[in-house]
Structure 1
Amino acid sequence: MYSTVVFSVYAVCSDAAGVAGNIFAFVLFLSPISTFRRIIRNGSTEQFSGMPYMYAFLNCLICLWYGLPFVSPGIILVATVNSIGAIFQLIYIGIFVVYAEKPMKLKMLGFLVSVSAIFAAVVFVSLKFLDAPSRKLFVGYLSVASLISMFASPLLIINLVMKTRSVEYMPFSLSLATFMMSLAFFVYGMLKHDAFLYVPNGIGTGLGTLQLALYTYFNNASRGELKHPLIGP
């Protein structure tokens, strides 16, 4: 009886962590909307790059595949969040292609074909040549590499914040959502005993903590300078 209750509580906690991760990830997926409103309004992609959305699309596809029951049973919430993410990224890529100049349009379409081919190859190899345990290892390592590269991308923004001593290009809401999503899936991975989930999301949680700490420090510093401006000679 006691073990049944403990197992039920454990299952509820793990599911709650996964659902929370889905919610915070959804906030992240919505974050580029303002950028694409600007692109549509101006009828041009200007200096924006479409590559982050291409990388995110590949990451969502690989993590979606990893979360499916015939690859990793019991973590369907990983598949749900990444299926939604893949749809969002594909929409963003489509809008970018529509409004991009012809050379960039062709380049983005070429990358889209390449990403689709890579994912198709991953699916083919994992189903055709690997048994269930090997399939999970193969796709799991790919998902870890993909997630770590995604979480590492804000390092460029962190470097910019430290150089400029300004948080203008590091929105608080985006940093907070990244941290909360990583933390939720870190807990979800720990409760599911899945290193392919908790290792990359643990790294993401650490980087998210760093972003929030830098935001707090430089935001407070800039407010202090406004309140107590330096007096020149």
Structure 2
Amino acid sequence: MVSADTARTVVGIIGNIISFFLFISPAPTFVGIWKKGSVEQYSPAPYLATLANCMVWTLFGLPMVHPDSILVSTINGTGTAIEFAYITLFFIHSDKKNRLKVIAVVTLELIFFALLTLLVLTLAHTYSTRSMVVGMVCILFNVMMYASPLTVMKMVITTKSVEYMPFFLSFASFANAVTWTTFALIRFDPFIAAPNGFGALLGLAQLILYATYYKSTKQQIEARKAKEIDFPEVIVAANQPPNKTATAATENGGAYENHET
């Protein structure tokens, strides 16, 4: 029979793999941003929230804070590096107003993380105290990360379009939350179970929205492409000189019709 610790380790490794795919799932979005040279209507909120979340969970999983949770630190340390890369790309291709917002939020997050690390490691002298303090902060930031797409979900409902809510990000978020909830329940850890349970429900809600508005999104995109194709033709037609046959017909009281295409 497989022991609880072995099962927890296996689920933790699976969680690392799924979390990695969660972190890289926005890559196609950022490739598109890089090619277009613009962030368009994409929001930096999910990536800023994920950065803060990864940093505090990296601290939480360290042996001197929460023993036997190194798998939490490994994946969140990786996630921190990936989110920094995304935010850098977002910063480069944003306008001045968005750049100021991004740099202000990142600066605040770094200051907060540095202060939290310093205070916990110097003032909290037991594992339980360190786990409690950092764990409560982790719950807060993890809920913020999972709740960050709420603004995008509101836009989806308003516009009936999921164009700016990437499917793979929503799916990976759901799978990630379910896996880490399972990890926390094998050997009950409320600090991991609570926010990830919430994240699983929110991820499911995003997938339901995606299924609901997928068809209407395709219709909107096709209609927009049709307009983009028709618009240049209208301009060309407007700039063409009058057809000679049509002019002659007009001059002769409309006796002839222009049948050229």
Question: For the superposition of Structure 1 and Structure 2, which TM-score range results when normalised by the shorter chain?
Answer: 0.7 to 0.9
Determine if the alignment matches structure 1 residue 59 to structure 2 residue 63. no
Counterpart of 2:44 (choices 41, 44, 50) is 50
Counterpart of 2:193 (choices 198, 207, 226) is 198
- List aligned pairs for 1:114-193, cutoff 5 A: 114-132=108-126, 133-193=128-188
Q: 1:50 to 1:171 in 2, by over 3 A?
A: closer
Q: 1:85 corresponds to which residue?
A: 79
Q: 1:164 to 1:54 in 2, by over 3 A?
A: closer
Q: 1:227 corresponds to which residue?
A: none
Shift of 1:106: 4.6
Q: 1:161 to 1:33 in 2, by over 3 A?
A: same
Shift of 1:217: 4.2
- List aligned pairs for 1:64-75, cutoff 5 A: 64-75=58-69
Shift of 1:220: 7.5
In the alignment, structure 1 segments of 5+ residues that lack a partner are 1-5, 224-233
Q: 1:106 to 1:172 in 2, by over 3 A?
A: closer
Contact 1:57 1:85 in 2 (8 A): yes
Q: Which amino acid aligns with 2:135?
A: G
Q: Which moved more, 1:207-216 or 1:65-74?
A: 207-216
Q: Which amino acid aligns with 1:29?
A: F
In the alignment, structure 2 segments of 5+ residues that lack a partner are 219-261
TM-score normalized by the length of structure 1: 0.81
Q: 1:159 to 1:48 in 2, by over 3 A?
A: closer
Percent sequence identity over aligned pairs: 34
Distance 1:41 1:143 in 2: 35
After superposition, give the CA deviation of every residue in 1:137-183 in whole Å (9 maximum; x if it has no partner): 01000000000111112223333333444444434332221111000
CA RMSD of aligned residues (A): 2.5
Determine if the alignment matches structure 1 residue 20 to structure 2 residue 18. no
Shift of 1:210: 2.3
- Structure with the greater alpha carbon radius of gyration: 2
TM-score normalized by the length of structure 2: 0.73
Q: 1:107 to 1:201 in 2, by over 3 A?
A: closer
Q: Secondary structure at the match of 2:135?
A: helix
Q: Which amino acid aligns with 2:170?
A: S
Give the length in aligned residue pairs: 217
Distance 1:153 1:50 in 2: 10
Distance 1:80 1:26 in 2: 10
Contact 2:44 2:102 in 1 (8 A): yes
